Amino acid sequence: QKEVEQNSGPLSVPEGAIASLNCTYSDRGSQSFFWYRQYSGKSPELIMFIYSNGDKEDGRFTAQLNKASQYVSLLIRDSQPSDSATYLCAVNDYGQNFVFGPGTRLSVLP
């Protein structure tokens, strides 16, 4: 049984701070890793993906992957109230067998 785990939160950070979201996965065969943002009542929206160990930056977002530790994280710099949402971690092998984590609810306080 492939599993993806995340802290459910809520994770509360003040506006302007760095939010750190973490995800661990059980399947060592996982090849690609995704972060989705889901606002309440909306569908998931892809914000980052990463395939290789290390960091990948896109604007205020940085994804970090450590395959040896089976760990992927998402950092949000200069957090804004508009970043308040649930963040879903998903992992995939080559077969589009996506497994989603339970999501972490982030609250950015003005």
Partner 1 sequence: SAVISQKPSRDICQRGTSLTIQCQVDSQVTMMFWYRQQPGQSLTLIATANQGSEATYESGFVIDKFPISRPNLTFSTLTVSNMSPEDSSIYLCSVGDRGLQPQHFGDGTRLSIL
Q: Which helix (H) or strand (E) holds 80?
A: none
The helix/strand/coil state of 44 is coil
Site residues (CB under 8 A) for partner 1, limited to 86-105: 88, 90, 92, 94-96, 98, 100-103
State the nearest-atom distance from the C-beta of 88 to partner 1, in Å: 6
DSSP label of 83 = G
**Which amino acid appears at position 35 of this protein?**
W
49 binds partner 1 (CB under 8 A): yes
Interface residue with partner 1, options 7, 20, 22, 32 (CB under 8 A): 32
User: 76 to each of 25, 98, 106, 107, how far by Cα in Å?
Assistant: 21, 23, 11, 12
Contacts of 47 (CB under 8 A, 6+ apart): 35, 36, 37, 58, 61, 74
Interface residue with partner 1, options 51, 53, 66, 78 (CB under 8 A): 51
2 binds partner 1 (CB under 8 A): no
43 binds partner 1 (CB under 8 A): yes
Binding site for partner 1 (CB under 8 A): 31-32, 34, 41-46, 49, 51, 88, 90, 92, 94-96, 98, 100-103
